[in-house]
């Protein structure tokens, strides 16, 4: 990939959109370029991931401090997937910028690319999102200023940062629930005669935190802790495979407390489980000083592969877990692997691929919900919509994107945004104003913000069967006044609701509403629909301007909202 093409990459893989934007330099952006020297590499001549993590963390910290104007510390780093290794002599380019600031924390996006100076080529290595917290000043707690997005890409990252923050806040709780429910169904560990005892892979190392390991706030540098953790995890992985492993994925780093100069940092790692061509290593960092008890600083799970001479992953030995705790870690690793595969499939699945519907289950609920909301937010940031017509204060826009016809309908109503949001959130009431909804029933309430529905729509032509849809509805309230209320819809599949002969199973790629409060009594409602071929017949006539059904439908929506704005008490509380 050339430098010119790489300049158009963003920190989120979904943001590669057509169209040019005015050249703009984000004021929080910090760039670091480092040539990889032998002192930075392992014995295979590849850049140590620990060294890369240190560079990433310091670049992101500088970006956070540029925005906040005060000292900042690393609170967490989201999951990282390393797409390529980096050789000696290559140049590592790291770009970090603040995507969004909250009260005292901010999300920093980090993009890492590798450059071959001799071949004049660049390629992406990884992208990551880190959360930094501003430290108190003499005047008290810091109130961070807001980030003002200037470009379409910055607006997208700003919007998605709120959704990623939501995932972080519930991450530990959801993972715990998933592991508890999954391990109960996994049964006993399988025994293999040639399995390697897990105890053989155990590593424990201690590091004395010296001034060179500290940041400018005299705390242990977060990047240094991550580098030490990567080091012991690599040793544990090497003991299983008797070869040099390649780190592919790191689950979220979450710093639970600081450590300081003078602390002894105890690092522990062990292989939890080995699969056909990958292994999971659990690693933790604990600190103590003098005779005080150990303090838990950080923990993570790292996935390694061993590459053969053909650059393909080698088959790995099986692991024999220790009794009790070892078996628990063995089973939990299986559950985490399923979660990682689900997440990878959901995030990497291209919208032009079939099937559009992803199987839903509790293990991928969080990521499907994120993807559902993200897809709608992405459409909301597009700026190249074409206004086709306007009637009765309802505007209809269209846009062709990735061989899909995208529709946007916009109108303003004299109903407070929160009341309109509550009314539109319950899809069972949509048939009161939308003739395309014949029946709608709740299948499952996944949580307070996500609901699964079965929707039946009438046939388009006489003699045809009607369609039915299994929809995931995800709703979000705004983080601040600049965010809209949001109701996102997408198709999923459920084993309990397979297609039947009575209806043709349809699929919704991305649809939903954004509701922006313009005043205490006026709300701008925008409806989006990314039409796949299976639903195109329902809307092509309207888009072509041959009928006024779109306008009549949304005029009916406006009338429904205004007629029911004072009857929210009658809404079923089980909706969400």
Q: Got the DSSP string for 413-454?
A: ESS-HHHHHHHHH-GGGGGGT-TT-SEEEEEEEEETTEEEEE
Selected residue with higher pLDDT from 551 and 125: 125
- Domain boundary (294, 325, 348) is at 348
Overall average pLDDT of the 21-32 stretch: 82
Q: Identify whether residues 481 and 549 lie together within a single domain.
A: yes
Selected residue with higher pLDDT from 12 and 367: 367
What is the residue-averaged pLDDT of the chain? 85
Query: Is 240 domain-assigned?
Result: yes
The values of phi and psi at residue 341, to 5°, are -65, -40
In 14-114, alpha helices (H): 49-68
- Domain boundary (289, 323, 348) is at 348
CB 56 within 8 A of CB 128: yes
* Helices 549-564 and 533-543, packing angle to 10 deg: 90
What was the pLDDT predicted at 66?
95
- Domain boundary (287, 321, 348) is at 348
Query: Is 114 domain-assigned?
Result: yes
Q: Identify whether residues 323 and 405 lie together within a single domain.
A: no
Q: Identify whether residues 513 and 397 lie together within a single domain.
A: yes
CA distance linking residue 474 with residue 206, whole number of Å: 46
Neighbours of 418 (CB within 10 A): 15
Query: 423-455 b/e with 16+ CB inside 10 Å = b?
Result: bbbbbbbbbebbebbeebebbeebeebbbbbbb
Q: Identify whether residues 109 and 245 lie together within a single domain.
A: no
- DSSP bridge pairs for 286: 266, 296
pLDDT tens-digit series, residues 463-498: 778 889 999 999 999 988 889 999 999 999 999 999
Q: Which residue has the tokens 């001034």?
A: 211
CA distance linking residue 246 with residue 240, whole number of Å: 13
What was the pLDDT predicted at 487?
97
pLDDT tens-digit series, residues 130-150: 999 987 766 667 789 999 998
Q: How confident is the model at residue 274 (pLDDT cuts 50, 70, 90)?
A: very high
What was the pLDDT predicted at 182?
55
- DSSP 3-state percent helix, strand, coil across the chain (nearest 5): 30, 35, 35
Task: Choose among 505, 355, 490, 478: nearest CA to 427.
Answer: 490
Both tokens of residue 222?
A: 């977060």
Overall average pLDDT of the 430-443 stretch: 92
Neighbours of 574 (CB within 10 A): 9
Query: Is 342 domain-assigned?
Result: yes
Query: Is 158 domain-assigned?
Result: no
Is pLDDT at 1 greater than 60 in this prediction? no
Query: Is 174 domain-assigned?
Result: no
CA distance linking residue 269 with residue 203, whole number of Å: 5
Q: Identify whether residues 197 and 272 lie together within a single domain.
A: yes
Overall average pLDDT of the 213-240 stretch: 92
Query: Is 508 domain-assigned?
Result: yes
CB 98 within 8 A of CB 147: yes
Question: Which CATH number covers residue 274?
Answer: 3.10.129.10
First to last CA, the chain: 46
Q: How confident is the model at residue 356 (pLDDT cuts 50, 70, 90)?
A: low
Selected residue with higher pLDDT from 460 and 291: 291
Residues above pLDDT 90, as percent of the chain? 56
Q: Identify whether residues 116 and 222 lie together within a single domain.
A: no
Q: Which residues contact 165 (CB under 8 A, 6 or more apart)?
A: 100, 102, 107, 131, 479
CA distance linking residue 486 with residue 515, whole number of Å: 6
Q: Identify whether residues 206 and 133 lie together within a single domain.
A: no
CB 486 within 8 A of CB 524: no
CA angle 312, 3, 353 (to 5 degrees): 55
CA distance linking residue 94 with residue 372, whole number of Å: 29
Write out the residue range of the structural domain in which residue 326 sits. 187-348
Q: Identify whether residues 395 and 505 lie together within a single domain.
A: yes
Both tokens of residue 104?
A: 């005292």
What was the pLDDT predicted at 19?
43
Question: Which CATH number covers residue 449?
Answer: 3.30.530.20
Q: Identify whether residues 384 and 328 lie together within a single domain.
A: no
Is pLDDT at 178 greater than 70 in this prediction? no
Q: Identify whether residues 331 and 365 lie together within a single domain.
A: no
Q: Identify whether residues 49 and 108 lie together within a single domain.
A: yes
Q: Identify whether residues 16 and 126 lie together within a single domain.
A: yes
C-alpha 432: how far from chain center: 35
Query: Is 182 domain-assigned?
Result: no
What was the pLDDT predicted at 11?
43
Helices (H) and strands (E) in the chain — how many of each?
Answer: 9, 25
Q: Which residues contact 486 (CB under 8 A, 6 or more apart)?
A: 373, 376, 377, 474, 475, 476, 512, 513, 514, 515
Q: What's the domain count of the chain?
A: 3
What was the pLDDT predicted at 12?
42
Overall average pLDDT of the 307-326 stretch: 90
Q: Which residues contact 111 (CB under 8 A, 6 or more apart)?
A: 9, 10, 11, 94, 95, 96, 124, 127
Is pLDDT at 570 greater than 80 in this prediction? no
Is pLDDT at 187 greater than 70 in this prediction? no
Overall average pLDDT of the 497-526 stretch: 92
Is pLDDT at 172 greater than 60 in this prediction? yes
Query: Is 72 domain-assigned?
Result: yes
Overall average pLDDT of the 506-517 stretch: 92
Q: Got the DSSP string for 27-50?
A: TT-EEEEEE--GGGB-TTSBB-HH
């Amino acid at each position: 990939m050339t430098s010119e093409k790489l300049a158009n990459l963003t920190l989120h893989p979904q943001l590669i959109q057509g169209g040019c934007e005015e050249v703009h330099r984000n004021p929080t952006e910090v760039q670091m370029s480092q040539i990889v020297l032998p002192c930075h590499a392992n014995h295979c001549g590849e850049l140590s991931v620990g060294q890369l993590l240190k560079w990433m963390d310091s670049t992101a910290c500088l970006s956070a401090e540029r925005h906040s104007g005060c000292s900042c510390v690393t609170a967490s780093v989201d999951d990282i997937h390393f797409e390529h290794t980096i050789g000696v002599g290559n140049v590592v380019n790291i770009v970090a910028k603040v995507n969004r600031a909250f009260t005292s924390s901010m999300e920093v996006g980090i993009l890492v690319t590798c450059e071959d100076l001799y071949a004049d080529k660049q390629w992406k290595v990884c992208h990551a999102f880190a959360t930094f917290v501003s430290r108190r000043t003499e005047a008290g707690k810091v109130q961070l200023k807001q980030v003002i997005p200037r470009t379409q890409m910055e607006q997208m990252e700003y919007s998605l940062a709120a959704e990623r923050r939501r995932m972080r806040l519930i991450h530990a709780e959801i993972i715990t629930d998933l592991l508890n429910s999954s391990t109960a169904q996994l049964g006993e560990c399988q025994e293999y005669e040639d399995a390697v005892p897990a105890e053989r892979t155990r590593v424990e190392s201690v590091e004395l935190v010296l001034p060179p390991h500290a940041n400018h706030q005299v705390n242990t540098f977060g990047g240094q802790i991550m580098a030490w953790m990567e080091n012991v995890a690599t040793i544990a992985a090497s003991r299983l495979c008797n070869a040099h492993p390649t780190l592919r994925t790191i689950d979220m780093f979450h710093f639970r407390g600081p450590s300081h100069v003078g602390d002894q940092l105890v690092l522990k790692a062990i292989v939890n489980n080995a699969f056909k061509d990958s292994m999971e290593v659990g690693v933790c960092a604990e600190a103590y000083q003098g005779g005080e008890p150990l303090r838990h600083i950080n923990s993570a799970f790292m996935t390694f592969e061993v590459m053969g001479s053909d650059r393909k992953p080698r088959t790995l030995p099986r692991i024999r877990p220790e009794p009790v705790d070892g078996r628990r870690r063995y089973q939990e690793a299986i559950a985490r692997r399923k979660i990682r595969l689900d997440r990878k499939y959901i995030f990497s699945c291209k919208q032009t691929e079939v099937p559009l519907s992803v199987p839903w289950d509790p293990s991928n609920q969080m990521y499907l919900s994120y993807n559902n909301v993200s897809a709608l937010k992405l459409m909301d940031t597009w700026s190249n919509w074409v206004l086709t017509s306007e009637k009765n204060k309802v505007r209809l826009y269209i846009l062709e994107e990735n061989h899909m016809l995208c529709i946007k309908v916009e109108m303003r109503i004299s109903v407070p945004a929160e009341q309109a949001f509550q009314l539109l959130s319950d899809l069972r009431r949509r048939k009161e104003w939308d003739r395309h909804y014949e029946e709608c029933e709740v299948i499952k309430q996944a949580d307070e913000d996500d609901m699964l529905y079965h929707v039946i729509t009438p046939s388009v032509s006489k003699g045809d069967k009607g369609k039915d849809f299994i929809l995931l509805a995800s709703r979000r309230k705004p983080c601040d006044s600049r965010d809209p209320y949001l109701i996102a819809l997408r198709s999923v599949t459920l084993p309990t609701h397979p297609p039947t002969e009575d209806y043709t199973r349809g699929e919704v790629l991305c649809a939903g509403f954004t509701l922006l409060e313009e005043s205490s009594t006026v709300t701008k409602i925008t409806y989006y629909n990314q039409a796949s071929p299976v639903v195109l017949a329902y809307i092509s006539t309207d888009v072509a301007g041959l009928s006024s059904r779109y306008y009549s439908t949304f005029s009916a929506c406006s009338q429904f909202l205004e007629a029911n704005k004072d009857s929210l008490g009658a809404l079923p509380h089980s909706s969400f």
